[in-house]
Structure 1
Amino acid sequence: MAAFLLVGGIASSNAQDIDQSKVPAAVKAAFAKAYPKATDVDWEMKGGNYEADFDLGKIDHKATYMGNGKVVSFEKDIPNTQLPAAIAKSIKAKYPKGRIDDVDWINAGGKISYKVDIEGTPDVNVWYGADGKFVKEVAD
């Protein structure tokens, strides 16, 4: 999981918006099949992968695909109240003056993790595994 998050972090710094016409047909077909009700779809290149940022209802989502249409990862915003209690407790202990601003639920290859944006002194993004264990922290 740490390797995926590291690669994702590096790829994030190299993200580039692209027009839908530049997205391979296999990727567009896989996306349309998985998310037929998606709205406000924007595409980016992240490393060699294609990432769709979109809404389902009023919830932000991201799906990342390889050029052949295979899913790399999927994430969605979740309410702070859906953050597992062990993670919330760890954050409160580690960042007592911080405030949870945003929580993303991430499924990468069947492995679940959480990315939590914390506002405080300083602002940070932290990742936790589904087991509640701290993975990494990145300054925001």
Structure 2
Amino acid sequence: MNCKGITLAAFLLVGGIVNSHAQDIDSKNVPAAVKMAFSKAYPKAKDIDWEKKGITYKVDFDLGKTDHSAIYAATGKNISSEKDIPNNQLPAAIAKSIKAKYPKGRIDDVDWISTGGKITYKVDIEGTPDVNVWYSADGKFIKELAD
């Protein structure tokens, strides 16, 4: 496995572990450095909800009519950012791959994810069975999980 694959696998593993221990928290319990970094990055955010996930802080919020989330270290460093995007903004190479791999499936939801400057796409596919698939920005298949 190459270095990029190992890094991605480690991130997904840590993300899964962190996600399994999430706890909603009040914004007053979020470190000042995290709140400052978030407000600077997303000054127009609305409907803000915080969670403590292990040693990180996840914030779900809206910008306009679009759902977003971001994960921060306690120092205020952004670890990852995610947003819903319209299905028609999915790169053509990914849409083509999905159509070939899941001919009876229907794209239900698309998330654009930025982690350490690397862009990935998570696509929820309804079909037989329902699955979530991840692709790199250049259209390479990463993984599939049952939904």
Q: TM-score range by the shorter chain?
A: over 0.9
2:93 corresponds in structure 1 to: 86
1:95 corresponds in structure 2 to: 102
Letter in 1 for 2:53: K
Letter in 1 for 2:125: I
Unaligned runs of 5+ in 1: none
2:116 corresponds in structure 1 to: 109
TM-score (norm 1): 0.94
2:58 corresponds in structure 1 to: 51
The reply on whether 1:137 has 2:132 as its aligned counterpart is no
- Return the offset for 1:69: 0.3
For 1:51-70, list aligned pairs within 5 A: 51-70=58-77
CA–CA separation in structure 1 for the residues paired with 2:50 and 2:62: 13
CA–CA separation in structure 1 for the residues paired with 2:63 and 2:142: 28
Unaligned runs of 5+ in 2: 1-7
Per-residue deviation, residues 9-50 of structure 1 (Å, max 9, x unmatched): 332233221111211111011111111110000111223110
Letter in 2 for 1:135: I
- Return the offset for 1:93: 1.1
Q: Which runs of 4+ in 1 moved over 6 A?
A: none
Letter in 2 for 1:21: K
C-alpha distance 4-95 of structure 1, shift in aligned 2 (>3 A): same
Per-residue deviation, residues 67-118 of structure 1 (Å, max 9, x unmatched): 0100000111111001011111111111111111110111100000000011
- Return the offset for 1:119: 1.0
- Return the offset for 1:133: 0.5
Q: Secondary structure at the match of 2:14?
A: helix
Per-residue deviation, residues 106-138 of structure 1 (Å, max 9, x unmatched): 110000000001111111111001111111111
1:73 corresponds in structure 2 to: 80
Q: Secondary structure at the match of 1:81?
A: helix
CA–CA separation in structure 1 for the residues paired with 2:17 and 2:95: 26
Q: Could you tell me the percent identity over the aligned residues? A: 77
The reply on whether 1:126 has 2:136 as its aligned counterpart is no
Structural RMSD (CA): 1.1
